[in-house]
Structure 1
Amino acid sequence: MIDHITIEVGDLEKSKLFYERAFVPLEYRVSFGKQGLFWAFDVGDGCLFEIQRTDQKPPLTRLHVAFRVRSRAEVDAFHRAALEAGAGDNGAPGPRPDYAKNYYACFVLDPDGYNIEAMINET
């Protein structure tokens, strides 16, 4: 299942205002964010649509997709399989307490350089 998708935008505040208005009929709202860096919209079922500025150095990329998996073992296995398939390592499997208390994830760069994540946020 896709947990969240993040896209790069040219003007973060303009895009935030656009999505806030465009999402009204869908009842999607800003869930959290950081002024000048990113905004996350709750799109239901625990999933997020995020917009961000990416004029920073990696690991940020123009497109980021995070797949929600069932276990830490699946995160580890995805990371190994992706590297064996030719992905670039963008973050080894491990805890990400800055994201959430029980967040465990890995990051790889696909052949086009997009940041692909496998993650679990255990409750």
Structure 2
Amino acid sequence: MIGHITIEVSNLAKSKLFYEQAFSPLNYSLAFGKKGVFWAFNVGNGCLFEIQSTGEKPPLTRLHVAFRVKSKAEVDVFHRAALEAGATDNGATGPRPGYGPNYYACFVLDPDGYNIQAMINEA
């Protein structure tokens, strides 16, 4: 399952208003964010759709996808398999307390340089 997808937008304020309006009939709502940096929309089933600003410092990649897995072991296995398949390490497996007290993840860059994450956020 997809945990979240983040895309780069050229005008964060304009895109925020657009998605608020476009998502309204779907009952998707703004969940959290940081003015001038990013906004996250709750799109159901624990999934988020995020927009981020290019800002003064461009984001790492124009597209980021986080896959929600069932265990820390799956995060570890994904990381190893991705590296063996040719990915570049972009964050070893481990806790991410800045994302939440039970958040465990890894990050790799795929062959096109996109940031791909495997994560679990245990309750």
Report the TM-score when normalising by structure 2.
Answer: 0.95
User: Are 1:115 and 2:115 matched, yes or no?
Assistant: yes
Gapped runs of 5+ residues in structure 2? none
Q: Percent identity?
A: 77
Q: Structure 1 stretches (4+) deviating beyond 2 angstroms?
A: 54-58
CA-to-partner distance for each residue in 1:83-121, whole Å, 9 max, x for gaps? Answer: 010001110001111111100000000011100000000
User: Are 1:2 and 2:2 matched, yes or no?
Assistant: yes
| Aligned length, in residue pairs | 122
Q: Distance in 2 between matches of 1:74 and 1:32?
A: 27
Report the TM-score when normalising by structure 1.
Answer: 0.95
Q: Distance in 2 between matches of 1:42 and 1:109?
A: 25
Gapped runs of 5+ residues in structure 1? none
Q: RMSD of the TM alignment (CA)?
A: 1.1
User: Are 1:92 and 2:97 matched, yes or no?
Assistant: no
Is the contact between residue 54 and residue 61 of structure 1 (CA under 8 Å) also seen in structure 2?
A: no
The equivalences for 1:1-123 within 5 A come to 1-55=1-55, 56=57, 60-123=60-123
**Following TM superposition, by how much is the alpha carbon of 1:54 offset from its aligned partner in structure 2, in angstroms?**
3.7
